[in-house]
């Protein structure tokens, strides 16, 4: 089993389990990795043999402490590369994910440490996702989904959970970028769509969009 494949599986299991010990089933992995279930079964069995996951046929897969440590290291590398690409090389937040997918497999801790130091040891990447530190610890936050926002309250956009190019371009079009201050003007009772004020302009967003925006109360 190739090293890159191992890393992709561990990272995917980590994300699907929301970073904890929640069990991930084979269908979830197959859908996310775009492979057939039989391929997933073979892969997780090998990861089980390597003691990186615990796999039970009737339930699914969860990371071991070793697997979790490795997954967090991959996530750290990915998010530092995203931050470097955005902050130092001028790539847009809709461009950095795919490039970082390739760069994350460079296993050089000294390189990542120097990149992090050059960036000021950031705690969050360009999408607002937390960057694990060298020990795998993640900074806690009081962020909420914008779908949980209260009427008339003010918020600061801190991140997104949808990294698709289409969604990020949609947000940029309406200036709903990281750090933007917004005020909730109306919340429709019928479908929970939100009208907000950003840069003195009214913007209406769907419940789906609001669910994908992470914000902090001002």
pLDDT tens digits for 80-131? Answer: 999 999 999 999 999 999 999 999 999 999 999 999 999 999 999 999 999 9
The pLDDT-based confidence of 166 (bands split at 50, 70, 90) is: very high
Neighbours of 22 (CB within 10 A): 12
pLDDT band with cut points at 50, 70 and 90 for residue 141: confident
Phi, psi (deg, nearest 5) at residue 72 = -65, -35
pLDDT at 14: 94
Q: Look up the CATH number of domain 144-217.
A: 2.30.30.90
User: For residue 80, what is the enclosing H or E element?
Assistant: helix 65-87
SS (HEC) of 1-48? CCHHHHHHHHHHHHHHCCCCCCCECHHHHHHHHCCCHHHHHHHHHHHH
Assigned architecture for domain 3-63: Orthogonal Bundle (1.10)
Least Cα distance to 160 among 146, 174, 142, 181 occurs for 146
Would you say residue 176 has pLDDT above 80? yes
Burial annotation 52-73 (CB, 10 A radius, 16+ → b, else e): bbbbeeeebbbbbeebbebbbb
Average pLDDT, the chain: 94
CB 157 within 8 A of CB 173: no
**Helix axis angle, 37-49 to 3-16, nearest 10°:** 100
Q: What is the pLDDT of residue 22?
A: 82
For 114, which DSSP code? H
CATH of domain 72-140: 1.10.60.10
For the chain, percent of residues with pLDDT exceeding 90: 93
Judge whether 3 and 105 are in contact, CB under 8 Å. yes
Non-local CB neighbours of 6 within 8 Å, separated by 6+ positions: 47, 50, 52
pLDDT of residue 139: 84
For the chain, the structural domain boundaries read: 3-63, 72-140, 144-217
Return the closest-CA partner of residue 146 out of 138, 136, 137, 157.
157
Q: Which two tokens stand for residue 14?
A: 């980590």
pLDDT per residue over 18-63, tens digit each? 766 689 999 999 999 999 999 999 999 999 999 999 999 888 999 9
Specify the pLDDT at position 205.
95
Q: State mean pLDDT over 62-66.
A: 94
């Amino acid at each position: 089993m190739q090293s890159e494949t191992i890393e992709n599986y561990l990272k995917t299991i980590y994300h699907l389990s929301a970073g904890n010990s929640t069990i991930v089933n084979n269908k979830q992995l197959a859908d996310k990795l775009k492979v057939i279930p039989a391929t997933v079964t073979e892969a997780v069995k090998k990861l089980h043999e390597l003691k990186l996951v615990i796999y039970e046929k009737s339930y699914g897969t969860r990371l071991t402490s070793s697997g979790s440590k490795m997954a967090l290291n991959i996530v750290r590398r990915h998010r530092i590369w995203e931050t470097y690409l955005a902050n130092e090389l001028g790539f847009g937040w809709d461009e950095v994910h795919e490039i970082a997918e390739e760069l994350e497999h460079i296993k050089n801790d000294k390189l990542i440490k120097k990149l992090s130091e050059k960036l000021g040891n950031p705690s969050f990447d360009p999408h607002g996702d937390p960057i694990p530190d060298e020990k795998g610890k993640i900074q806690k936050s009081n962020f909420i989904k914008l779908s949980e926002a209260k009427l008339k309250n003010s918020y600061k956009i801190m991140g997104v959970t949808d990294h698709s190019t289409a969604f990020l371009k949609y947000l940029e079009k309406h200036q709903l970028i990281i750090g933007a201050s917004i005020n909730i003007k109306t919340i429709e009772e019928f479908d929970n769509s939100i009208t907000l004020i950003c840069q003195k302009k009214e913007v209406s967003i769907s419940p789906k969009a609001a669910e994908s925006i992470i914000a902090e109360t001002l």
